[in-house]
Amino acid sequence: MQITVDTGSCVASGQCVLLAPGTFDQDEDDGTVVLLAPEPPEGEREAVRQAELTCPAAAIRLSGA
């Protein structure tokens, strides 16, 4: 599973960080998504899928899922 994020589309809701804190963080200045790892830890894959579905701006994309 590869993750890409579109920081330009991100609305800084923070849902991704709440669901998968080992994979996502938020920028300290504007709150937009920060991708910590392009491949999530094995135990966080389902949470990353939920983050993609939950993102209000559709700023998270998964491939090879």
Domains of the chain: 2-63 (3.30.70.20)
Does the reported pTM lie above 0.75? Answer: yes
The 10s digit of each residue's pLDDT in 14-55 is 999 999 999 999 999 999 999 998 998 889 999 999 999 999
Res 65: pLDDT: 60
Terminal-to-terminal C-alpha distance of the chain: 5
Determine the number of helices (DSSP H) and then strands (DSSP E) in the chain: 2, 4
> Is residue 64 very low, low, confident or very high in pLDDT (cuts 50, 70, 90)?
confident
14: left (phi over 0), alpha (psi -120 to 50) or beta: left
Helix (H) or strand (E) holding 54: helix 45-54
> Is residue 12 very low, low, confident or very high in pLDDT (cuts 50, 70, 90)?
very high
